[in-house]
A and B are shown apart, each in its own frame.
Chain A
């Protein structure tokens, strides 16, 4: 386990995150989005490497809401009424968990760099 034991338990219990969950937290870190926009953001950021299907995406969203990491929020005023899409926003817990995961990954990447694991790749 690479999880920092000094983290509060409510955060530590959730780590390491599944890649899908981390991608969702990441995509919501700069503001609320609805499902489709979220999916597009993830796809864009990963250059098409992560393409979320509807089932996976909404199940993960449901779990994140249940865990208190996300809130469902009202759509922005500009949204057309008939669209009726749910918007999701990070809660403070979600933000902290996302950050904790990022730090965890960072420390791993740092370790990899220290061991020289990345050098060959970076040069290529």
Chain B
């Protein structure tokens, strides 16, 4: 029977639900049940009571399903073939009887508020932590990208295999070839972002510019909220040799971000058709993007997220040099194509390009494709998944504690349960009763958890690393609440089932005649010990993780990055190319800017650089020696830096050999560079690099010779955690006045210097915007962000786990002491010393803790590998961490054992024997 127009997901859902049934029963009747369900669903739909029907069907499937499983085990009284009604003994899981049990469960829980509060808060902590982390995981890792059919969007990167370079940008001709030759990609677009000054209509400001191919927005499936998107005409290249803004250039058109439109034009629709001036190029505003639009790209692409002005590229796809790479290429897979097909095809295109271009062949040119969404979250995925795992552990530990509480309470309730059994409660009814109580505890815990999570999410968002995408969407919504509910149900089963089954095994006669202490059966004791060992093991694993993160944090904090960021201020001043087109003019202005800033009182050293360390911008090039001229594959890749004189002094970078740049360098034609120690080591190991010559290729089409005048300490630039690429520093005069990030060493507070520095810039050109004024240390802190974040959270969860596990250990021992007080009394009556009693209890506790600890250490060895991507300067199996955490745990366990042990020594033998 097929049901056109019915909802296939309902059928799927019902089929899932049928898994509740005993497998043999399901195999026999499942298909017919599904047909019957669908037929009745259709009838119910016709009568407009589909909702009521579904609720009933779900309830029916769950209770009948569980019942078939109980039938198969013969757990239902009278066996599976029972047909009769038995009055009060009736097994039927009707709503009425459940409501009765619910009322009874509520009464039981409120009668014992101490137990209930402890259990609810414990579970609440576990569920709250899970809810908070899940809300982040969901938004960041599982949230859809805000682009149409985003699962078909892919990032297309360049790579240079022989130089170990990946995630590299592309040149305009590379992009054109990919777009034209690929059949697996439906379309491809390119984008490039940079900072530029926006003048006219108010104060000059620096804005983020996005240069795009005309099909970029169309490819993402996002249309401007106002006006039009770019068309092919907007993107047609200028005549060869003519730059935008120059006479004869085609008019530029711009699309504004919603935010800039609000700021600059007050949200006036008349802004369309107006002209703005960006970097000396005037462009007509033709559109405004929607407010929520942002550029979400993999962090390695180093693109600005909040582009304010979009320009259609007018790139010269046919004549631009292939070695001028800056474009990031985004593709859209054909609906029927796979990533593997795309990669295979791009491999063919890459080898075709390499076959035609010697330099590309020598570099091992290749094209890599990855799903856009995966690329965006690749860096944060390991941290979030590790945290998700950590909170899972916390919840399990919380469950273990509550399970132990329930086991203790079940022993205490043995007589009550025996009476219920005597009055006709079947075993299933007793289990159901206990599970209902667990369920209520878990639901109350979930309520507490959601409240804690709401607070936790706020705290979490205050410290998440800035590069986490889609953080604005983190919050508690229906899906998160659904997860919380599922976690609560899962938790209730985890902590409720064993105690419930255990409790239902009451032996009527035993329980009723034993008038003294409730008897604890051996199996219960074993289970409780196992539970404690388990939770100690889990918290050991968590603490190992926390210890490793702590070691990483310490390692990262003590890294010498090759500069001293503490007293350095930094800000951007970029000279508009339209206003200062010639290299000479730019150099003159930069020199003047530096002279004026140096004169500001409090400034000790000042210079400018591009790219600034840790600032994501990329400027790479090759370097090599004589042999590379004949064998281009001998070239290696370095990070290039263009710097004004005084750069190393302002950054506090130690000069290891030779000298740094002066204003006189590059005034004549001799080209001089400063290299870092890594490069000097590679090219001239064991020799002095000063005075040596090497090949570089930066602004000329072919490699040229430069002379090394100095060697400096390596500056960590890509990350703090690793050295990264070797570096070559050029005079900014060579690049033509391109250093836009100013660095100012000053003893004074940043805020105090800002106006004076602003004044110095104004004195040179009042239209130059000064942007992103900040302490360089804030960049260093940001680079430590993910580690700090992971450390704080894993540390927090580790401590919670430790406390919970200690409480669990304490609880078990306290109970044991109470149980054994008669025995202890006898021992004391026969002259046992307090010390030996103390040792007896402590030994038992430490035995449990030790077993858990060893188990935890064994499990931690493979599991800590999960953290590998986040560790700095420490191996996942770091011995110091493992030993240190064991020691911490031993001390805490000793304390947890000590208190009940002390109590044991105070047992009054007379009293204990009388009670026995």
Contact = CB atoms under 8 A, between A and B. Distances in A.
Interface of A: 13-18, 21, 34-36, 39, 51, 53-59, 61-64, 66-67, 69, 83-86, 97
Given A36-B39, A55-B61, A57-B36, A62 B82 contact: no
Contacts of A13: 84
Contact of A35 (B25, B32, B61, B65): B32
A86 B65 CA distance: 20
A15 B36 contact: no
B12 interface: no
A39 B36 CA distance: 9
Contact of A59 (B1, B34, B35, B67): B67
B659 interface: no
B6 to A, nearest CB: 16
A69 B84 CA distance: 13
A22 to B, nearest CB: 9
Contact of A54 (B57, B82, B84): B57
A54 B33 CA distance: 5
Interface in B27-69: 28-29, 31-37, 39-40, 56-57, 60-61, 63-65, 67-68
A63 B71 contact: yes
B16 interface: no
A5 to B, nearest CB: 15
Contacts of A67: 81, 83
A15 B67 contact: no
B80 interface: yes
Contact of B25 (A17, A39, A62, A86): A62
B7 interface: no
Contacts of B80: 62-63, 66
B92 interface: yes
B92 A18 contact: yes
B32 A58 contact: yes
Contact of B21 (A14, A55, A64): A55
A19 B174 CA distance: 78
Contacts of A64: 83
B33 A58 contact: yes
A25 B131 CA distance: 50
Given A59-B67, A59-B68, A18 B84 contact: yes
Contact of A53 (B32, B60, B81, B83): B60
B69 to A, nearest CB: 11
Given A17-B83, A35-B33, A36-B39, 5 more contacts: A34-B32, A54-B33, A54-B36, A59-B67, A61-B29
A28 to B, nearest CB: 14
B85 interface: yes
A94 B623 CA distance: 94
A14 B84 contact: yes
- CB-CB nearest 8 A-B residue pairs: A55-B64, A53-B60, A54-B33, A67-B81, A66-B81, A58-B29, A55-B60, A54-B36
Interface in B460-501: none
A5 B341 CA distance: 79
A16 B33 CA distance: 27
A114 B83 CA distance: 29
A16 B85 contact: yes
9 contacts: A13-B84, A14-B84, A16-B84, A21-B83, A36-B32, A36-B39, A51-B56, A54-B33, A67-B83
Nearest to A64: B83
A45 to B, nearest CB: 16
B268 to A, nearest CB: 62
B884 to A, nearest CB: 55
Nearest to B21: A55
A62 B72 CA distance: 11
A53 B84 contact: no
Contact of A55 (B35, B39, B63): B63
A54 B67 contact: no
A32 B40 CA distance: 21
B84 A17 contact: yes
Interface in B75-95: 80-85, 92
B57 A53 contact: yes
Contact of B33 (A14, A55, A66, A83): A55
B82 A35 contact: no
B83 A55 contact: no
B202 to A, nearest CB: 70
B294 to A, nearest CB: 49
Nearest to B31: A84
Contacts of A51: 56
Contacts of A58: 25, 29, 32-33, 64
Interface-central residue, A17, A21, A54, by most chain B CB under 10 Å = A54
Contacts of A14: 83-84
A69 B68 contact: no
A61 B29 CA distance: 10
A54 B71 CA distance: 17
A98 to B, nearest CB: 10
A92 to B, nearest CB: 16
A36 to B, nearest CB: 5
Interface in B5-35: 21, 25, 28-29, 31-35
Interface in B816-832: none
Nearest to A22: B83
A66 B63 CA distance: 20
Interface-central residue, B31, B34, B60, by most chain A CB under 10 Å = B60
Contacts of B84: 13-18
A15 B21 CA distance: 27
Nearest to B34: A54
A75 to B, nearest CB: 12
B41 to A, nearest CB: 10
B64 A59 contact: yes
Nearest to B90: A18
Given A18-B92, A63-B71, A85-B32, A54 B83 contact: no
Contacts of B67: 59
B21 to A, nearest CB: 7
Nearest to A55: B64
B83 A63 contact: yes
Contacts of B29: 58, 61-62, 86
A19 to B, nearest CB: 8
A56 B32 contact: no
Contacts of A57: 36
Nearest to A14: B83
A17 B84 CA distance: 4
A69 to B, nearest CB: 7
A80 B57 CA distance: 27
Interface-central residue, B36, B65, B83, by most chain A CB under 10 Å = B83
A39 B92 CA distance: 19
A53 B33 CA distance: 9
A51 B59 CA distance: 14
A92 B35 CA distance: 29
Contacts of A21: 83
A18 B76 CA distance: 15
A21 B83 CA distance: 7
A63 to B, nearest CB: 5
A61 B37 CA distance: 16
Contacts of B39: 36
Contact of B83 (A36, A69, A84, A86): A69
A62 B70 CA distance: 14
Contacts of A59: 25, 64, 67-68, 71
A86 B32 CA distance: 8
A67 B82 CA distance: 8
Contacts of B83: 14, 17-18, 21, 63-64, 67, 69, 97
A13 B78 CA distance: 10
Contacts of A86: 29, 32
Interface string B313-325: 0000000000000
Contacts of B28: 62
Given A59-B68, A62-B80, A63-B81, A54 B92 contact: no
B85 A54 contact: no
A9 to B, nearest CB: 13
